[in-house]
């Protein structure tokens, strides 16, 4: 392992240790904000593992997140199943769904892939609502546990660490190298013998796995969940915006975008609750026209200029 990599791992370990003690020194409002930020750190980082190298904007995060949350709710409310059993089952189900979706859609590209993934999340949300209303007799589900906000925060921190380690391993693997070639020129990747379809499917499955696991962990935070909550399309857009704001060219890029955007989103939601959609639209425009490579890309440009 190179000295630079050892240094980065050391810095990461220190940051994780500092993050782990946060609930011990803060509670209430700021712990709630930190838990939300930790959720988006895990979601945005896992999203960028797929969309970063492939340049495919997936708006399916809410679909997998909702699968995780709703399976936990269904198991605990209707079948008296333990939280841990459903938290293990949910990401496996989402991974299987991601496999089927990937095989069917990852030959699409550009705007067609974006539209399909958004439509997929909406289809699943409406399908779950229809089944819930017509066959289960209620619209929502109770998810009652003994978990505190701190417990959920620590679980999300653990998932975030696993996502970062997984991304670090992917970047050093043949799969990561293949995905970089696919992102630069998929036709060239095919000519050099890379199975482009399966490479993208494998990483898309990992995105579905982590999103569902996070949805399962966050479900007890809601206590009572409905399809419009866990399958919200807004969540998919927030994940994309946060990842792009930080930058997807670096593994730690989404982290840089999540923290400031979470604080800004909280301020807008509290002070101007009817303007959140407008804020999302403006954020997209600013990223596209002002920060196309995110904060990390901007930092790299300043570094290169300073080095000249």
Q: How far apart are alpha carbons 22 and 287 in whole angstroms?
A: 30
pLDDT score for 31: 94
pLDDT digits (tens, 9 = 90+) for 287-298: 888 888 888 888
pLDDT of residue 308: 64
Q: Return the pLDDT at 76.
A: 87
pTM: 0.92
pLDDT at 19 over 90: yes
The pLDDT of residue 163 is 95
Closest CA relative to residue 94, chosen from 210, 197, 234: 210
- For the cut 70, the answer to whether the pLDDT of residue 136 exceeds it is no
pLDDT at 242: 94
pLDDT band for position 69 (50/70/90)? Answer: very high
């Amino acid at each position: 392992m190179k000295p630079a990599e050892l240094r980065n791992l050391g810095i990461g370990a220190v940051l994780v240790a500092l993050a782990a003690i946060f609930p011990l020194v803060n509670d209430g409002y700021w712990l709630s904000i930190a838990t939300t930020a930790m959720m988006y750190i895990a979601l945005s980082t896992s999203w960028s593992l797929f969309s970063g190298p492939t340049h495919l904007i997936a708006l399916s995060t809410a679909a997998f997140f909702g699968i995780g949350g709703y399976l936990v709710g269904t198991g605990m409310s209707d079948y008296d199943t333990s939280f841990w059993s459903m938290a293990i089952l949910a990401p496996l189900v989402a991974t299987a769904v991601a496999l089927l979706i990937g095989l069917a859609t990852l030959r699409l590209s550009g705007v067609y892939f974006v539209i399909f993934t958004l439509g997929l999340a909406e289809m699943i949300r409406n399908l779950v609502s229809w089944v819930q209303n017509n066959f289960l007799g209620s619209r929502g589900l109770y998810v009652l546990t003994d978990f505190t906000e701190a417990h959920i925060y620590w679980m999300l921190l653990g998932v975030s660490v696993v996502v970062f380690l997984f991304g670090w391993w992917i970047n050093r693997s043949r799969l990561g190298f293949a995905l970089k070639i696919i992102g630069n020129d998929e036709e060239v990747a095919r000519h050099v013998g890379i199975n482009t379809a399966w490479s993208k499917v494998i990483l898309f499955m990992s995105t579905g796995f982590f999103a569902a696991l996070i949805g399962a962990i966050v479900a007890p935070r809601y206590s009572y969940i409905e399809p419009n909550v866990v399958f919200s399309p807004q969540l998919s857009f927030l994940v994309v915006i946060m990842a792009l704001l930080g930058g997807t060219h670096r593994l730690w890029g989404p982290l840089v975008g999540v923290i400031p955007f979470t604080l800004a989103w909280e301020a807008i939601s509290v002070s101007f609750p009817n303007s959140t959609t407008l804020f999302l639209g403006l954020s997209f425009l600013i990223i596209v026209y002002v920060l196309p490579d995110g904060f990390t890309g901007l930092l790299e440009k300043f570094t290169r200029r300073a080095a000249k």
